[in-house]
Amino acid sequence: MLKGYFGDFGGQFVPELLIPPLQELEAAMERFLSDTDFKRELNHLFANYVGRPTPLYYCPNLSKDLGFKLWLKREDLTHTGAHKINNTLGQALLTKYMGKSKIIAETGAGQHGVATATAAAMLGLECLVFMGALDVQRQALNVKRMELLGAKVVPVESGTKTLKDAINAALRYWISHQEDTHYCIGSVVGPHPFPYMVREFQAVIGKEAKEQIIEQSGRLPDKVVACVGGGSNAMGIFFPFFEDKEVELIGVEAGGSGKPGDYHSATLNKGLPGVLHGTKTNLLQTKDGQILPSHSIAPGLDYPGVGPEHTYFQSIGRAKYEVVYDKEALEAFYTLSAKEGIIPALESSHALAYVLKLKGKLSNQTQVIVNLSGRGDKDLDIVFGSDFVQR
């Protein structure tokens, strides 16, 4: 495979000025990701700061209802309440090992910004978070959170004042401050080496899950299911099972309202190959290549692209990608809360909703792991503000 590519996907489609910091990052990654001191320090932080390993929880009540064995990988129990911290802490530590003092990030709903600000505070790095001016207004509480953590939030007034303008502003800043600044991308997206590096930091999820299910049940799972926005929690749990061909890998995308003409975020089901944010992958776009807006009730799934490695997994048939609609995700949100006493993030609720639809269709020996990427406390306003009525 060509360097920086996953099959036909990935690569480095960036302006000339971005090549030097990307090359520097690639060299640092190659040097430090296998370095004993770096690994020891990161593992120490994972154990004592993040709270790893997270449990693999067997759902006694739902398993009985569904007729098969349901397990949850509890990323919702990490510090800050979602898997994003695995990546931001990894990149923040790498920033220090590179001898840089500042970390920047872009954020839409604010979750990646908060996770970056957290890691920066802990490791003593200066932190700037670029955020569309409209998002700054809409996500006032997350802005306060980031400021509390010592980060500076920079409102971006250009364009549509949302995520894509924040990404452009962060890239411009990185180009002019590359000597002392690292750009922390929040998912397995963007130009090489980001998709590879972020997957390496998130693969701790799948490594743990594999050991835990073998220890608790004596064998591998039959299916591993995760929601896909950019694709980092999914790739993190999928990758360690890649060689285990008997384990089916299923990514779940957000179908939005499901109404004809409404926007959605089902990039792998409804997108076409193209280039976005420096990488070749599947995108939501018109026939003329205009990027379409995405939409989902789950803020973290609202992205018009997807990590190139997922497009590759789909192209070789190693993983399949399904669609779940807002209403189904909300039902799953209520179900898990009531049946197991766990309030899931709306993103994770998409993965769960797909699995709930398998009720009665699998043997009672079938084992399914759902990656519970985050906790749902952050989503209560959305849930209670929606017109969905619980049945």
Q: In this complex, which beta carbon is closest to ligand PLP, that of residue 221 or of residue 374?
A: 374
Active-site annotation holder among 83, 182, 264, 310: 83
227 near ligand PLP, judged by CB under 6 A: yes
DSSP characters over 172-208: HHHHHTTTTEEE---SS-SSTTHHHHHHHHHTHHHHH
Stretch that binds ligand PLP, among 17-25, 211-219, 226-234, 360-368 (CB under 6 A): 226-234
Grouping H, G, I as helix, E, B as strand and the rest as coil, residue 165 is helix
Instruction: Name the pairing type of β-strands 5-6 and 367-372.
Output: unpaired
The closest alpha carbon to 308, from 143, 148, 193, belongs to 193
Stretch that binds ligand PLP, among 49-57, 286-294, 340-348, 380-388 (CB under 6 A): 340-348
119 near ligand PLP, judged by CB under 6 A: no
206 near ligand PLP, judged by CB under 6 A: no
Given CA atoms 38, 40, 43, 48 in this order, what sign does their dihedral have?
negative
Given CA atoms 155, 161, 164, 169 in this order, what sign does their dihedral have?
negative
Q: In this complex, which beta carbon is closest to ligand PLP, that of residue 100 or of residue 249?
A: 249
Rounded-to-integer distance, Cα 352 and Cα 72, Å: 9
Stretch that binds ligand PLP, among 49-57, 135-143, 222-230, 362-370 (CB under 6 A): 222-230
Instruction: Name the pairing type of β-strands 5-6 and 9-10.
Output: antiparallel
82 near ligand PLP, judged by CB under 6 A: yes
Which long-range contacts (C-beta less than 8 Å, at least 24 apart) are formed by 54-61? 54/78, 54/205, 54/208, 55/212, 56/208, 56/209, 56/212, 56/213, 56/216, 56/369, 57/342, 58/216, 59/339, 59/340, 61/339, 61/340
232 near ligand PLP, judged by CB under 6 A: yes
Rounded-to-integer distance, Cα 71 and Cα 112, Å: 26
Task: Indicate which single residue of 78, 142, 282, 373 sits in contact with ligand PLP (rule: CB under 6 A).
Answer: 373
230 near ligand PLP, judged by CB under 6 A: yes
314 near ligand PLP, judged by CB under 6 A: no
249 forms beta bridges with 224, 319
Rounded-to-integer distance, Cα 70 and Cα 314, Å: 24
Angle at 10 between CA 6 and CA 14, to 5 degrees: 155
84 near ligand PLP, judged by CB under 6 A: yes
- Is position 112 annotated as part of the catalytic site? no
- Is position 59 annotated as part of the catalytic site? yes
The closest alpha carbon to 204, from 350, 354, 371, 335, belongs to 371
Task: Indicate which single residue of 42, 103, 153, 228 sits in contact with ligand PLP (rule: CB under 6 A).
Answer: 228
Which residues touch 290 (CB under 8 Å, ≥6 apart)? none
Of 49-68, binders to ligand PLP (CB under 6 A) are none
Rounded-to-integer distance, Cα 371 and Cα 205, Å: 9
Of 285-304, binders to ligand PLP (CB under 6 A) are 300-301
Q: Which residue is nearest to ligand PLP (CB)?
A: 374
Per-residue mark of binding to ligand PLP, 233-252 (x: CB under 6 A): xx------------------
Shortest separation between residue 222's beta carbon and ligand PLP, angstroms: 22
Stretch that binds ligand PLP, among 59-67, 88-96, 225-233, 264-272 (CB under 6 A): 225-233
Shortest separation between residue 114's beta carbon and ligand PLP, angstroms: 10
Per-residue mark of binding to ligand PLP, 16-55 (x: CB under 6 A): ----------------------------------------
Grouping H, G, I as helix, E, B as strand and the rest as coil, residue 11 is coil
Task: Indicate which single residue of 86, 107, 187, 285 sits in contact with ligand PLP (rule: CB under 6 A).
Answer: 187
Stretch that binds ligand PLP, among 172-180, 316-324, 345-353, 357-365 (CB under 6 A): 345-353
Which residues touch 266 (CB under 8 Å, ≥6 apart)? 253, 254, 255, 256, 284, 321, 323
Q: In this complex, which beta carbon is closest to ligand PLP, that of residue 12 or of residue 296?
A: 296
Instruction: Give the active site residues.
Output: 59, 83
Applying CB under 6 A, which residues contact ligand PLP? 82, 84, 111, 187, 227-234, 300-301, 345, 347-348, 373-374
